[in-house]
């Protein structure tokens, strides 16, 4: 009977050690996943700000005028297209 209790105690101790180790591994994975999440969230915010800057109306107008040589058409350059 004592031997059986001794074996049960050893098995229980080994189970506690295994559970503690697994808990530490999972905690480390959770911390890494949270760090990755935070980095991706920061990058997303940065990209949204950059998108806003690149799509600003004033910048689009500047590119159209300077790089594409576009201009607002004069009244005599406008053509009315009708649908029939």
Tens of pLDDT, residue by residue, the chain (84 residues): 889 999 999 999 999 999 999 999 999 999 999 999 999 999 999 999 988 888 888 888 888 899 999 988 898 889 888 887
Tell me which residue range forms the domain holding 46: 2-69
Predicted TM-score (pTM) of this structure: 0.56
10 in a structural domain: yes
15 in a structural domain: yes
83 in a structural domain: no
19 in a structural domain: yes
23 in a structural domain: yes
Q: Which residue has the tokens 């997303």?
A: 44
| Tally of structural domains, the chain | 1
76 in a structural domain: no
How far apart are the C-alpha atoms of 79 and 4, rounded to whole Å?
99
How far apart are the C-alpha atoms of 49 and 55, rounded to whole Å?
10
How far apart are the C-alpha atoms of 59 and 63, rounded to whole Å?
6
Listed residue (26, 28, 29, 30) closest to 18, CA to CA: 26
Rounded to an integer, what is the distance from CA 84 to the centroid of its chain? 50
């Amino acid at each position: 009977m004592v031997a059986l209790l001794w074996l049960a105690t050893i098995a229980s101790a080994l189970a506690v050690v295994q559970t503690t180790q697994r808990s530490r591994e999972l905690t480390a994975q959770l911390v890494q996943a949270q760090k990755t999440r935070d980095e991706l969230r920061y990058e997303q915010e940065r990209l949204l700000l950059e998108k806003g800057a690149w799509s600003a109306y004033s910048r689009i107008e500047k590119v159209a005028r300077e790089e594409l040589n576009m201009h607002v058409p004069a009244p005599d350059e406008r053509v009315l297209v009708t649908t029939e």
